[in-house]
């Protein structure tokens, strides 16, 4: 099973403390998926290359890795 780096738009809450909480992940086709819960955050490298802050999230009942790499968001995806 090969994973790909898929850049996505993210709707987030930026708290006054500086904490960023992803609320929705948006695909290029206009589909928007609610982030049900953020399970953890930490600085990590991705299996698909790149590194940054990894948000382990529950999205539509699935556990997904969402990364903030400098100023771009990407998700580890099964499809390019």
Span 39-71, pLDDT tens digits: 999 999 999 999 999 999 999 999 999 999 999
Domain positions in the chain are: 4-77
**What's residue 78's pLDDT?**
86
**What's residue 19's pLDDT?**
95
At 58 the three-state DSSP class reads: strand
**What's residue 1's pLDDT?**
75
What is the DSSP code string of 28-46?
A: TTS-EEEEEEEEEEEEEE-
- Spatial CA neighbour of 54 closest among 64, 39, 68: 68
Global pTM value: 0.92
Is a pLDDT exceeding 90 seen at residue 79? Answer: no
């Amino acid at each position: 099973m090969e994973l790909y780096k898929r850049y996505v738009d993210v709707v987030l809450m930026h708290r006054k403390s500086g904490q960023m909480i992803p609320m929705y992940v948006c695909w290029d086709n206009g589909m928007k998926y609610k982030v049900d819960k953020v399970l953890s955050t930490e600085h990590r490298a991705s299996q698909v290359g790149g590194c940054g802050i990894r948000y382990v999230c529950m999205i539509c009942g699935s556990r997904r890795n969402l990364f903030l790499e400098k100023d771009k968001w990407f998700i580890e995806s099964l499809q390019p």
